[in-house]
Structure 1
Amino acid sequence: MRNESRISKAAARILIAALALACAASNSFGAGASVTAVLDNSETGVGQPVQLQIKVTGSTSVKPPRELAVDGLDIRFTGQSQLLEGRNFQFSYSYIYNYTVMPMKAGTFKIPPQTIEAGGSTLRTPELTLHVADSPGQSSRPNRSGENIDPRQIAFVELILSKTSAYVGEMVPAVVRLGFNVRTPVESLGNGVEITGQGFTAQKMREPRQAIETIGGKTYQTFTFKTALSPARSGKIAIGPVEVNPIVRIPRTSRSPGIPRDLFDMNDPFMDNFFRDPAFAPSTPREIKMKSEAATLDVKALPPGAPPSFNGAVGNFTMTVDAKPKTAQVGDPFTLTAKISGRGNFDRVTAPSLEDEQGWHKYPPSADFKSDDDVGISGAKTFETVISANERKDHIPAQLFAYFDPIKEQYVTLRNEPIPVRVEGGSAPTQAPVAPAPQTAAPAPSLARTGPKQQEILHQITELSAEPQSFTPLFARRSFWLAQLAPFLVLLGFITWRIRRAHLDNRDARRREALQHEAAALQRSLRREDVSPQEYFSRASRAVQLKTALARNVDPNAVDADVAASAFRADEATRRRLQQLFEKSDEARYSGGQNGIRLLPPDVRNEVLELIDNLRA
């Protein structure tokens, strides 16, 4: 009996709802269409938006205006909703079109009547007046929608570090998480998300991952940003807070008296929640200020005793090396391809160095990085380095790459086996001996004639030679070509010797050309304004090394501040400036990523350029 009673009540509700909708439809279609337009506030200030609503009742075929042009006002369509109203079983179905009106200047503005086509008839909205003061505080009726809203009640922001202790230069993954209550949907994240603080750098954040989550019984729209931090100094570093100023839509608390709590007075919570849903109520966009709690990172300095090939890489890496071709002449290039894979601060991963560079000339490498994650701390970096041998070689020396492993807390040096190659070259080929021309056989002695001499019948014909004569042309004879081979071999040996001599003489010219090309590229990059201080000082010190190498014909990698000052006979002030430049370049080795670092001031950049330009032999 109890089940039958429940079924009867449910059927009654369904029947009543169907009748109500039928009555609403009949009343809506039976009555003529009407339109109203209202502003939620007739007075506001410059930069303070108000909401315009156009409500069309009694028609299901409506074409509202999409653009409203008023000088001094920025009016934009923000969406539409539907409303079912009922009173004494008299129902009406309406469409509500929402617009945001943003005042651009002070004054009194008239929003002219708008023409709307509804159900084959033409409707016109009333003219509306909006008074805009110079500032929000001068408005006699300020918009109070959401004035007392606590951002912590509708949204949250948090900063999560993967660890609280790290080494200088180590990449620390971090997550920034934003959440907004679905009843106050977010329109934009303002100027974006930024992690404030000093003493560290942060990787650039990519597009966030969005999701709908239930937290503490409330439903939130969440945005998850991933990044990685790299501390630049030891000690305790404050990370954050994260500051963000999003724009959210705050529902207005006033409700239409025509919407009852329970349409059928059956104490049905579904009906109450349906009509109280903020999606059916007008809302106002508002900027809120959010700030997370700061985090603390305990940073340890790298231990002493770093290997010579260490350039600041911190993490865990592996290395593979290959060389092509396997055979070449002295001075011809080999291409070394080194691939370093793993996880760490790849911006400090540099090309491996040769274990023994004696007899080899090395050119600046190229690099290509491919990331395996969202923040660029895992992947593979490939270097291509061109080297050439100055003498005969049977192998390419081993490659060395050093890094610091923060898990093992020790330095690790990767070394590959020497690569077997064959470098040929040397003296010109020796002259091949000329084969002696074949000697003709001595004529056989004529046999003594026996018997009396016969009387010649034709006395005009002389006696034929005892040796047979050949009619083969001279150029077809083997002895002729053997005689020509000797000068040809001499000429070939001379040409080979000249080419080899020119190749050896041109080695220094090729080296200078490569250094000049690199120096010119660095000079152009030093005049750019979008280079971080760390990268700028590193390039500037390299430019000094190249300029010194070109002036004194030395290896640029062996040039330091003292060598450069001596090469250009610099005074004491210039020597100190060079030492400061190289010190700042060395400090940049442990600074991690470059994102988030401010740009170098123009006056400092000009001083560095002036210092380099004034270095003259």
Structure 2
Amino acid sequence: MKPLILNICLLCIAAQFVTAELSVRTRFSQPRVALGNPVQYIVEITAIDAASQPNIPPITSLPIQSPPGLRLRNGRNSSNSQTRIVNGQTEYRITQSATIDAIPSAIGSYSIPAFQIEVNGETLEAPAATLQVVEKAADAAPTLDELTFLEVEAPQSLYIGQSSKIRLNLYVADRMRLSGVGNFESTADGFSMIQDPNKYSERRLLRNGRDYRVLTWEIEATALTAGRQALNFQIDVSARMPGKAKSGNQSPFGRSLFDDFFEPTQRYPIDKEHTIHVLPLPEENKPPSFDGAVGRFSMEVFTDLQETTVGEPIMYSIRLTGEGNFDRIQGPVLSESPDWKPYSPQAVMEDSGAVESTTTKRFDYVMTPLRAGQIKTPAIQFAYFDPQTAAYVTLQAPPIPIAVQAAKSTFTPPSSAAPTPKSQEESEQPLSRSLTREEALMTLDYQPREKTLPDTIHPFQSNSFRMTQGFLFLLLVATALYLRRRTRLLEDPHFLLSRKARKAAKQAHKEAIAATTASEFYIAALSAVRHTATARTGRDQSNATMKELRALIPNPEKNSRALDALQKLCLQADALHFSGKEPSTDPKTLQPLLNQLLEVL
């Protein structure tokens, strides 16, 4: 009995050493901060083991809710592992961290309550964290929000289908030495946006007694969904902040001339949200020919020929000029006519000349006349909605007369005249004549010589044997090269990583397709995208950010839809990651976005 009790005690003691000790900690990077200064909310999960390096998964979601007035955004993960030996005792430690930017809107106290999180099957209690936001002192240095900020110039309301230019202005004070901007991100589920982060204008402006460098981007947005729709913009500003004192490093002689030169460059994420009220199009007095055009347009019709023949086609063109959603305008439908056979139009964007605010789009129809006579082109109607007058407008084009002649016949019937009789001399011409000596020699009976059997060829000297030998030699060389290459690849860690990532990407894609909830879909879809990126680059992209994944998409202008799909996927996954809220989106509607993104990667 005693040995049994002793063994049980030893097993319990050993279990304490084998099982890693888990703990969780929550905090703000600065518990007390002046309004406008940056601050982060940090969650740290630590595992300590004395036997071996413990393993805990990255933080994938946090069941936290933002208190009123405190906005949490831009969450990211990090990991840190340590090994310490103290007095001969080894301690292995690993820490998984989640850092979230916290943006308070007013002065006051903000508290994120305690919550529970499950790690390796164990439920941990995360403590509450409190942030105290105070008013900035009168003699304090300007805050980050005063030195750099975003402003959005956009209309307060739009109609569904209406396009509008949105100006995004980034203000950077002269005190901040701008090194560059990056990670240009925009989120607008209710809009379709065309933007080029690398195309912007620059100017200087004096505002509130401070000189600013202003960078302006123009974005073309088309409203898609009715209701109050939010546009979120974020830009990372890389700059040096001269004159910022460092604690513990202050010289009694003041600042040096070289202090500003050697100031390190830091990244400052700047964001801005703007809301637009999108109005639905009225159903009253909607023309039957209306096809979604919103704006102000004029129409012109013309043909390349005024005369033709039956069966010879002409080019019938419709030119639309104005301001509106040209990308959604299709060619007007021609009315049916027994005189013409029209074909599908070809759309061409034309140069509008010096007027930059207008756009011109031309539709070319190939039409073949079916009968001769003075016939007219089909009638044309183009309807659009004018947001300035809030009314529908129908444009009509008059028919164009075309002179169509009958087709000319090129067939010549055979002549029925009797054949001309031959003369008597021609009919009496002898059929044979005496041959010359040369002709007689050429017509001597041909006596072929007797056929002889070819000489017998040894099988090893035949052409077929030589070709077989050459084929076998090439096959042997190719097999040797393939085995050598495969052996080298199996020893290459990048190849093994890519091979493993391909299998993981297929499995994650299957899980995303089979997902029944939006949360399951976003987790599996983001995993599939990162594994696919790993397989392509040969580098571990399991924790790749949206900026890193965007850099892997080739031809950004051609694959703009894939970029939008990646942005929507990452932002939704990020929101689910750090809010714990279950989205109401149907996963089946999100599968085409994932498939399109994986095809591009």
Normalising by structure 2, we get a TM-score of 0.42
Normalising by structure 1, we get a TM-score of 0.41
Which has the greater radius of gyration? Answer: 1
